[in-house]
Chain A
């Protein structure tokens, strides 16, 4: 039944997707790719795919998938578990290689090792599972700190470098603006809904307090420590003070809605928000700037969680070599450059961060290069197939603290016990 539903959803997607058809001669094959689903992401991908189709004569179909990454993974897994060859090329999240590796081909024979060396090493390592290159880095992502520089100027406040300072500044500006008549003004919005995005946000808080990454490289569960409790307690204090209570049900777009309509001073979000905030019709156009996320106190560090997407080829594809060629093309330097200029997608290739055209389109790429290179990875490698469960337990524990049901210490102690059970005593 699940397969039928998935198949039905997919057929519908195939029917209504704006497939790029070029009349190929016989011997040319059809490839289906799933990349992005809405807005600019879908458009930029479709332009790239069409260019490849024109050059090679193959036909390509774009399959629209759910925007929510949990939903997207669910659909992919149903297709792959059913050994369906309906989609040849998948766009996969940075935390999925361990989960999907079994269903993906090894791309090593199709990708020139020299090309591979151009990409960020950390991401390539992330995409290698059991010595097989199961995916190619396509674009990277890291958490950024968006702020209203016009408001900071108006109140004569410097850019906050610690979370504590951010809290103070946010409160001052929020109160000032409300007194001046903007009664919907809030200090800070982030992703607090019980979903993967909360894991990303909370890992940034933890890491900025030097509180580790939930599970360390050796599989040791490190999340239950006092620094992590401090970080979570601080975050919980934001809700209903400088953040609206609804923030604990916000994903990326809800928060951007608040910030872009001019109702928030600070926002944690991915780079994708930058072009949107500066679009023609954006109320905050030209009033926004971007920085690294604050540190967890003077002894803390600036950090950001590594996000980003890869392209992978399904084991069940009828034309794996053609699909791999499409992946090779889309992840190439030229195409990544085009995507960075047109859509603001962060390249995974070092050299492009020094490219004048890319920097002109995305001024902060240069300043924040360090953020992208040193982003902290979620513990998906060490936890492998169980990563989703670990992440869900973590975000639920954080969510319970944010919503004021349990205090940080209790949440973390409970989480440690649960993770111990999930991992069968740290053996993953």
Chain B
């Protein structure tokens, strides 16, 4: 499964269009050679740990290989993809993943923005807050998912205790068992975990903004809301786009969160969970690889969009 994961990240600077092929001075050429020399180890390592498994996965997706015996498999063309296309559970998984990605990234962006703006204001204890915020981001997802699993527990969970105490619910709820609630429970954990990441990226962008602009705005007596939409937002937009796209790529290949919280339950299964189940539980390497390949294509498409859109953003700034 992991074969697919970091494919989105494997965009080397070379993919950004190398330097124009002009015959420079001897020094320039030497420098270029040296640069390639320095890059070589990374390229070799990447092709070994990311490229090879990826190609193997794509190859398997056209075969009927099983874990029962990997040696003997036959080429079956696009049959796996055909079966994938007619499987309602797969489309359910696609929908789950998209829904999860859109909702969680939107909430994280808004929350991250609010927190970053707050931290950007000069207030006491800012450094401490910034460090404390990183804790959810620092805990491995598997651990935090398990932790939240206990917190969500219908009988002993602290979440029910708090909500009952506050009078938000009248009886304990089974947050991760109830199919109507479980997706939102998963999204809540993701928001808790990755909002700090958003916050930090936005905060970094905010800290770089020139102070004079704000001075001028204050002198002119423009109201803060207008300043935010007319000045702050356009200026941090490039950084914000990077953050959103990174998070979206992450969210599209989400696996551990759902798997730990709700297992293979179809109410929350993401594309990665589906692919893993076919590959590992059902030993169907061919079919599972087809699902993985499909997921890879989606992420690759996103990456291409990111590179093209990202370029526009970085080079010309916003419109």
A249 touches B283 (CB 8 A): no
Q: Closest 5 CB pairs between A and B?
A: A246-B154, A249-B177, A245-B174, A246-B174, A1-B53
Measured CB to CB, the closest approach of chain A to B161, in angstroms, equals 12
A2 touches B2 (CB 8 A): yes
Is there contact, CB below 8 Å, between A1 and B49?
A: yes
Known interface pairs A2-B3, A77-B280; A246-B177 also in contact (CB < 8 Å)? yes
User: Is A263 close to B, CB under 8 A?
Assistant: yes
User: Taking the complex as formed, is A15 at the interface, i.e. its CB lies under 8 A from any CB of chain B?
Assistant: no
Q: Does B70 contact A (CB under 8 A)?
A: yes
Contacts of A250 in B (CB 8 A): 177
Q: Which B residue's beta carbon lies closest to that of A80?
A: B67
Report the bound CA distance from A392 to B70 in whole Å.
22
Contact A2 B1 (CB under 8 A): yes
B88 to chain A, nearest CB (A): 10
B40 within 8 A of A: no
Contact of A194 with B by CB under 8 A: yes
Tell me whether B68 and A392 are in contact (CB under 8 A): no
Question: A244-B174, A249-B174 known; 8 other A-B pairs, CB under 8 Å?
Answer: A2-B3, A74-B281, A77-B280, A80-B67, A248-B177, A249-B177, A385-B283, A389-B282
Is B283 a contact of A388 with CB atoms below 8 Å? yes
Q: Which residues of A contact B176 (CB under 8 A)?
A: 249
- Enumerate chain B residues within 8 angstroms of A399, measured Cβ to Cβ: 265
A contact residues around B130 at 8 Å (CB): none
| Cβ of A354 under 8 Å from chain B | no
A195 close to B (CB within 8 Å): yes
Return chain B residues, CB-CB under 8 Å to A80: 67
Residues of A within 8 A of B (CB): 1-2, 4-5, 70, 73-74, 77-78, 80-81, 99, 102, 184, 192-195, 244-250, 254, 257-258, 263, 385-386, 388-389, 392, 396, 399-400, 403, 405
Cα-based distance from A246 to B150 in the complex (angstroms): 12
Q: With A and B bound together, what is the CA distance between A350 and B13 in angstroms?
A: 69
Partner of A245, one of B3, B66, B178: B178
Give the residue name and chain of the A residue nearest to B277 (CB): A392
Q: Does B153 contact A (CB under 8 A)?
A: yes
Query: Given A74-B281, A102-B69, is A245 in contact with B2 using a C-beta cutoff of 8 Å?
Result: no
Give A418's nearest chain B residue, CB to CB.
Answer: B89
Cβ of B154 and Cβ of A392 under 8 Å apart? no
Residue numbers in A under 8 Å from B262 (CB-CB): 194, 249
Which residue of A is nearest B285, CB measured? A81
**Cβ contacts A to B, 23 pairs, < 8 Å:** A1-B3, A1-B49, A2-B53, A4-B49, A5-B2, A74-B280, A102-B69, A194-B264, A195-B263, A244-B172, A245-B177, A246-B154, A248-B178, A250-B177, A385-B68, A385-B283, A389-B281, A389-B282, A392-B264, A396-B266, A403-B178, A403-B179, A405-B179
User: Do A388 and B281 touch (CB < 8 A)?
Assistant: yes
Inter-chain contact B68/A403, CB cutoff 8 Å = no
